[in-house]
Amino acid sequence: MSTISIIAFSLFAVVTLTSKSSRSNVKTRSRTDWIVDAASLLIHFFGLPILSGSIVYGLCEWLLSSYRGVIGGGWFSGVLAYVFLDYLWYWNHRIFHADTPLWSLHSTHHKPTHFDVFITARNAVASHFAMVYFWGIGISVYLLKDSNSFLAMAALGGVVNFWSHTEYSLPKGSILEKIVGSIFVLPIDHSWHHSREESRVNFGTFFSVWDRLHGTLHRPGHSPTAFGEEKDVSVWKQLVWPV
Ligand SMILES: [Zn+2]
Ligand SMILES: [Zn+2]
């Protein structure tokens, strides 16, 4: 799963760096932004799988050992479990954006004034513990008899997440864009989620159907013009103490 994410990130990073307009955005970001982005990517690729795997597996062995592999049903159960987890994430993400202290935890993801693949994993360390994915992936794998389809969905979810933080959308107005966009989040959808104008929209990061279902899908047909916050916030405040 992590390997596929690394490959997806690397491909989008290369494409971003070979595009003249994207490259100028990359060049103008501050040293603070670079440190936060790079540290977040390292945590995402290497720290989280180890941390989440060991904590969640340990808890499952302690509390759920008699339920290990209890969910049968073959590949369908794995797909269904991931769809359910993604629906929980939709609400989890929406609650992050409510007027509560949880917004401070999530605000690190929304600080950058640029929008590209390098900001995908940018999150305060503590915020991971408040994300359903941190707990849900390990618990699902533990409970499923066959977790292959679940892990395949999770890998696809990771690819869509990196893609949605790029400017590389499908041909505008094409049938392909309509079909893919009716199921999945498109880059332009997530760019609106990072915009200054309308950030409390498009909470889904994999399936777009949850936003459609709950009236939070925002597709005005053009791209936002400005992202994030102008003020400079230290690495410490963004990664460790986002209050
Ligand atoms: Zn958000
Ligand atoms: Zn994002």
What is the maximum alpha-carbon separation in the chain? 56
Model pLDDT, residue 1 = 57
The ligand with the least distance to the CA atom of 190 is 2
Residue 110 CA to ligand 1 center (angstroms) comes to 7
Q: Is there a domain that residue 38 lies in? A: yes
In a domain, residue 23? The reply is no
Q: Which ligand is nearest to the CA of 165?
A: 2
Tokens read off for 2: 């992590």
Identify the helix (H) or strand (E) that includes residue 178.
helix 175-183
CA 227 – ligand 2 centroid, Å: 11
**Ligand 1 centroid to 131 CA: how many Å?**
12
How far apart are the CA of 204 and the centre of ligand 2, in A?
Answer: 10
Ligand nearest to the CA of 97: 1
**What is the total count of domains within the chain?**
1
Ligand located closest to 119 CA: 2
Q: In angstroms, what is the span from residue 65 Cα to ligand 2's centroid?
A: 35
CA 207 to chain centre: 11
Mean pLDDT for the chain overall? 93
Q: For the chain, count helices (H), then strands (E).
A: 12, 0
Distance 186 CA to ligand 1 centre (A): 15
Question: Tell me, what's the pLDDT at 144?
Answer: 97
Residue 77 lies in a domain: yes
Query: Measured in angstroms, how far is the CA atom of residue 120 from the centroid of ligand 2?
Result: 6
Contact of 185 with 155, CB cutoff 8 Å? no
Compute the distance from residue 18 Cα to the ligand 1 centre, in Å.
Answer: 28
Between the CA of 68 and the centroid of ligand 1 the distance, in Å, is 33
In a domain, 20, yes or no: no
Which ligand is in closest contact with the Cα of 116? Answer: 2
- pTM value is 0.93
Backbone φ, ψ for residue 157 (5° rounding): -60, -40
**Residue 24 placed within a domain:** no
The answer to whether the CB of 238 falls within 8 A of the CB of 36 is yes
Neighbours of 74 (CB within 10 A): 12
Evaluate whether residue 25 is within a structural domain.
no
Residue 15 lies in a domain: no
Q: Measured in angstroms, how far is the CA atom of residue 72 from the centroid of ligand 1?
A: 34
Which segments of the chain have a pLDDT < 70?
1
Tell me, yes or no, whether 21 lies in a domain: no
Domain extent for 200: 2-7+30-239
